[in-house]
Amino acid sequence: MQKAFPGARIVDWHPLPIGLSTNEAALIRYLRSIAEKRPEGSSAKIKELAAAVGIAPVNIWQTLERPHIKAELAREGILLDRRQGRPMSVRRAEAAPPYQASPEIRRAA
């Protein structure tokens, strides 16, 4: 390939989709269980989450930022919200409610 394309570089290419490691799969399962308990939202402390899945607390957010983890969370319908100094918020993604005009707007139209 280098003979045909001397200046080409392949960056982040993998022939197969990246699978989840056991710790990553445990992280997805744990977040799913939190989201299923309270679909409207619940908090998860980073240290408790790290202890439950076997990932160091400092690496939890790095793990959650990986593209294949984000894709899996989206497939599961799990939304995460992070604010500095607070526990992470975990909730189910719901379809947006259909737009309904208020009665005043409907009367005016």
Bigger pLDDT: 82 vs 13: 82
What is the average pLDDT score of the chain? 77
Residue with tokens 């984000």: 70
Q: Give the domains, in start order, of the chain with CATH numbers.
A: 22-89 (1.10.10)
pLDDT tens-digit readout, 49-75 = 888 888 888 888 888 888 888 888 888
39, 77 Cβ separation under 8 angstroms: no
How many whole angstroms separate alpha carbon 69 and alpha carbon 97? 27
Bigger pLDDT: 30 vs 85: 30
CA 102 to chain centre: 34
Q: What is the pTM of this model?
A: 0.66
Could you give the percent of the chain with pLDDT greater than 90? 6
pLDDT at residue 15, as a whole number: 64
